[in-house]
Amino acid sequence: LYLHDMTEFMPFPIGVDGRYAYDFLDRFWRFPYLIMSDDDIAGFALVIDECPLTGRTPCWFMAEFFVLKAYRSRGAGRSAVELALQAHPGQWHIAVPHANRTAQAFWSKTLTPQNPASRDIHFDGDDWRLHQFIPN
């Protein structure tokens, strides 16, 4: 579902077997988390300890973050971000595709208490909004 949703903003090719190609799982499967809403799985987050866009290390990076549409705007995503920040103290980078306006709005609102330094960055053919901060 995640890659299906992301094809609106980024090209993930679909294979002859009907699956989307995703070459980053081995690299991003360092600190995987399920996002829960009560007893239901509402999404997932993958955190790594290096920012691939800047090369900064040590630096926590939200490599992937996904909340199912049925659970959006209910607080599960915001709570998951807060838990991830608590679990991994230190410098954080969060990059959001420019084309994904829904994600831009979510991260802007969710990170406001952190007062991030935010800038536009071009990386690997895509345009991103990069938020840099140390959690309060």
3-state DSSP of the chain: CHHHHHCCCCCCCECCCCCECCCCHHHHCCEEEEEEECCEEEEEEEEECCCCCCCCCCCEEEEEEEECHHHCCCCHHHHHHHHHHHHCCCCEEEEEECCCHHHHHHHHHHHHHHCCEEEEEEECCEEEEEEEECCC
pLDDT at 32 (0 to 100):
98
Total-model pTM: 0.88
User: Hey, how many other C-beta atoms are within 10 angstroms of the C-beta on 53?
Assistant: 16
Residue 80: phi, psi to the nearest 5?
A: -65, -40
CATH number of this structure's domain 30-133 = 3.40.630.30
pLDDT at 112: 97
pLDDT of residue 16: 83
Give the pLDDT of residue 92.
Answer: 98
- For the chain, which ranges sit under pLDDT 70? 1-12, 20
Q: Could you state, in order of their start, the residue ranges of all structural domains in the chain? A: 30-133
- What pLDDT score does 94 carry? 98
